[in-house]
Amino acid sequence: MLRYVYAHDLNQHRELAHSMFVDRADQFKTRLGWDVSVDGHGEERDEYDALDPLYVIWEQPDGSHGGSMRFLPSTGPIMVNDVFPELTGEDAISSPLIWECTRFCLSRDASGNVAGALTLGGLEIMRNFNIAHFAGVFDRRMVRIYRSLGFSPEIVGTMGEGRDRICLGLWDYSTEAYHRVAERAGIQTELSTLWFDRSFGGAGRLGPVALTG
């Protein structure tokens, strides 16, 4: 199931949080070879994790991390402005209607369409928080994945060539996209709504559910 957890509440989900940061180290440091910091506990964190971001986390039936994304409002520090200013033409992104999405991570043993579930979770945030756009930096291999999930961004900036090319994308919210992603993820919108409400003090408890698709 999906959980929505602010950084200041991660201590209430210690094992889930630990496995998320360990999986981030595995994906970004070990598999992709990024220049990221891994601490003595095997966890990958950066300065943006200290800004109380909102995490969307797929929790597997055993309580461990299956996949996650990190979200921050663009009215504060975000990676696009701080690390990749060339992609914005030096015009910083800053709007209460735009949040940045980073650290899209899938564990090695994630089952089912976890990427689709996480994408649907992002759309739940947009739908419930009245966010018009997500901004994010990605490499070219992700273009096909976004297309398969039914939620492709508008590319507003590029940098580099070939395998090193990266893009800045803007994702727009729409009801059509919300239902399309839910269908491709194999998750009923009613179930997605319950997961969101449970995290934010709404509708009742819901146990882990297997993904289809």
Instruction: Tell me the CA distances in angstroms from 128 to 116, 147, 159, 169, 173, one per residue in order.
Output: 18, 24, 33, 21, 11
- Mean pLDDT for 120-124 is 97
- Asked if residue 211 belongs to a domain, the reply is no
Q: Examine residue 116 and state whether it is found in any structural domain, yes or no.
A: yes
Looking at residue 89, which CATH number applies to its domain?
3.40.630.30
Tens of pLDDT, residue by residue over 142-200, are 888 899 999 999 999 998 887 778 999 999 999 999 999 999 999 999 999 999 999 99
User: What residues contact 128, with CB distance under 8 A and at least 6 apart?
Assistant: 196, 200
Q: What is the pLDDT of residue 141?
A: 79
**Residue 213 within any structural domain of the chain:** no
pLDDT at 11: 96
Residue 33 has pLDDT above 50, yes or no: yes
Range of the domain at 170: 2-200
Residue 205 belongs to some domain of the structure: no
Return the pLDDT at 212: 40
83 and 47 Cβ atoms separated by less than 8 Å: no
Diameter over CA atoms, the chain = 49
Residue 64 lies in a domain: yes
Q: Whole-number mean pLDDT of the chain?
A: 91
pLDDT band per the 50, 70, 90 thresholds, residue 140: confident
Mean pLDDT of 126-146: 92
pLDDT tens figures, 51-91: 999 999 999 999 999 999 999 999 999 999 999 999 998 78
Stretch among 46-60, 95-109, 191-205 having the lowest mean pLDDT: 191-205
12, part of any domain: yes
Domain count, the chain: 1
Whether 212 is in a domain gets the answer no
Cα distances (Å, whole numbers) of residue 38 to 1, 43, 69:
27, 5, 18
Query: Domain for residue 206, yes or no?
Result: no
Query: Facing residues of 55 across strands?
Result: 5, 70
φ and ψ of 168, to 5 deg: -105, 125
State the pLDDT at residue 202. 65
